[in-house]
Chain A
Amino acid sequence: MSGNLLHRPPILRRPDGIGGALPALILISLFFVVPVVALLLRSVTEPVPGLQNYANLFGDGTYARVFFNTFLVATVVTTVTVIVAFPVAWMLAIMPPALGSIVFGIIILSMWTNLLTRTYAWMVLLQRTGVINRTLMDIGLISEPLPLINNLTGVTIGMVYIMLPFMILPLVGTLRAIDPMTLRAAALCGASPFDAFRRILLPLSLPGIAAGGLMVFVMSLGYFVTPTLLGGTSNMMLAAMIAQMIQSLLNWGLGSAAAFILLSVTMALYALQLRLVGAKRMTGGI
């Protein structure tokens, strides 16, 4: 390996030391460190210096409810996404490559379609006078419209749909790396399909599930558009509360404190995940 490196033209050699990382460091500090520090400062200086913003957030029942909602929605969405994504990813992993790339294309295309458009589409489908309720009522399955929107159901449907690609892609990577022979071997040894899934496929795909799951969970924690449009006021999530404090109440100290808490939780989750799964396996799967 090192012998090869010596024969490469200098331009292809990995830059050594801090000098090579400098541009990246400058970018990170400019676009990440500086804003985060500014955010932190604002949260402890506005309207007056001190920790009263944090005390407010932790001491008030309303804010506690919003924190709870945020984690509830993220947990529900992540769980449902994993359950829906797994069969799709497995199908993609064992599909002939030509067909697989078409399905892949469809998934990627949906990711590229404007988020707001897709969320509005769900509004049209889910509302009381929407396509789904109309159809169900027309064929006589229900007599009253189902409450599919302005509640947790609407938020879950809309968010799972948007998060699916972020779960499927890392999962496919992991699943493809599993040798199909292991499953055949299990079958030959008398394992039922369910046993093979539970004792071989599932454990081997755990890194992919963990990687995708973390991504979905973290993205869900900070989600704004979909919960705002498809949820009710009682499902308010942290991002919506921050927007309200910044845009409407002009209470930037409290908004900054909430944003900082959200960021800290996200970083803590990421650090935990790194320790449990390891950075290589997590990113290598994608």
Chain B
Amino acid sequence: MKLILTGILAGLLAATAAHADEMVFTSWGGTTQEAQTKSWAAPFEASSGIKVLQDGPTDYGKLKAMVEGGSVAWDVVDVEMDFAIKAAKDGLLEPIDFNVVPKADLDPRFTTDHAVGSFYYSFVLAWNKGAVSGEPAGWADMFDLTKFPGKRTFYKWSAPGVIEIALLADGVPADKLYPLDLDRAFKKLDTIKSEIVWWDSGAQSQQLIASGEAAFGQLWNGRVFALEQDGADVGVSWNQNMTAADVLVIPKGSKNKASAMKFLAAATSPKSQAMFAEASGYAPINTAAKAEMPGDVVKSLPDAYVDGQINLDMNYWAENRDKIAERWYAWQAK
């Protein structure tokens, strides 16, 4: 259904995006894409005169279909970094033109030949204060059904995060996570499997926690930030928060490549990055962006919580994504 809908939408967009002064930006929808539209697309439209059409949600199958079918309707796509590394290897992406996109201030952790950082986030532990008595202190508490009964929610797809959480909860030291011990992780996950509710979109993770449908869960910090701003009664623990990045890529064969490069330059500029961080609660990937932001916003970002912070290993995931995915889905379906 989602495939069909995005297909129709992309088809319509492809028909309209043929004009030279238009391009299509695709992201994950919800509060994140709203912030991207406001902080990146709107100022870019004003300064360049290039209209930025929005599409979404990001769909890797769709991206591959477009590139292989030779009919690319998307010009800039927000994807997870491990996917970007893999997709570049598979020849699905255009190389970035660093003559157009200034590289100097971009965080090298999130810059590759085929991708520039979009923003980076932390997976944090969030809970509904009405549904949980006491304060869960960290990932180990997510696996303690006696101390903290109730449903817990995790990211549904095979992606960096849940496996690491299970290993940390089982006592693996943070610096010994990789290579991931899958047997140990799934054994640990088995202990709470009956109590897991899966979320597959950021909006759903917010709904589950805000309604108390799940007492607690692993959420993107920006989604918790948005909940707090809406006045929802949520608690958050930054203990062992786990960082990962989204990156912006240009699908191979983009019809508006030149506009897309200019868009990347604008979106990763200190000012746009600062605006986005302020609106979303996600951290900027341009190191000069912090100078543009109010002090209290800087304090709410993932890089204010570097104590015990864990960087998820995107290169490991890019290499092992398929192998892990196979086991992941087999385990889920059991």
Contacts and interface: CB of A to CB of B under 8 A. Distances in A.
Interface of A: 60-62, 65-66, 115-116, 127-129, 150, 224-225, 232-234, 236, 241, 243-244, 246-252
B162 to A, nearest CB: 12
Given A65-B333, A233-B333, 16 more contacts: A62-B330, A65-B334, A66-B333, A115-B1, A127-B213, A128-B151, A128-B213, A129-B212, A224-B1, A232-B198, A234-B332, A234-B333, A246-B3, A247-B3, A248-B61, A248-B157
Contacts of B2: 243, 247
Contact of B197 (A150, A236, A249): A150
B129 to A, nearest CB: 15
Contacts of A150: 197
Nearest to A243: B3
A233 B332 contact: yes
Contact of A225 (B1, B157, B212, B322): B1
Contact of A244 (B1, B62, B322, B329): B329
Interface of B: 1-3, 59-62, 64, 151, 156-158, 197-198, 211-213, 322, 325, 329-330, 332-334
B27 to A, nearest CB: 16
Nearest to B211: A129
Contacts, number: 57
A249 B325 CA distance: 7
A183 to B, nearest CB: 43
28 contacts: A62-B330, A62-B334, A65-B333, A65-B334, A66-B333, A127-B211, A128-B151, A129-B211, A150-B197, A225-B1, A233-B198, A233-B333, A234-B334, A236-B332, A236-B333, A243-B2, A243-B3, A244-B329, A246-B61, A247-B3, A247-B61, A247-B62, A249-B322, A249-B325, A250-B64, A251-B322, A252-B61, A252-B64
A195 B2 CA distance: 48
Contacts of B325: 248-249
A233 B156 contact: yes
A31 to B, nearest CB: 14
Contacts of B60: 247-248, 250
Give the one of A116, A234, A244, A250 with max B CB within 10 A: A250
Contact of B1 (A116, A233, A236, A246): A116
Contacts of B330: 60-62
Contacts of B62: 247
A146 B306 CA distance: 42
Contacts of B64: 250, 252
A116 B333 CA distance: 23
Contacts of A60: 330
A247 B63 CA distance: 9
A129 B3 contact: no
A251 B158 CA distance: 14
B30 to A, nearest CB: 15
A180 B172 CA distance: 74
Nearest to A236: B333
Contacts of B211: 127, 129
A25 to B, nearest CB: 25
Leading 6 A-B pairs by shortest Cβ distance = A247-B61, A233-B332, A62-B330, A246-B61, A225-B1, A236-B333
B61 A250 contact: yes
Give the one of B1, B212, B325 with max A CB within 10 A: B1
Contacts of A233: 156, 198, 332-333
A177 B225 CA distance: 62
A115 B322 CA distance: 33
A243 B4 CA distance: 11
Nearest to A115: B1
Contacts of B157: 248
A62 B325 CA distance: 13
A247 B59 contact: yes
Nearest to A240: B333
Give the one of B2, B61, B156, B322 with max A CB within 10 A: B61
A206 B107 CA distance: 69
Contacts of A127: 211, 213
Contacts of B151: 128
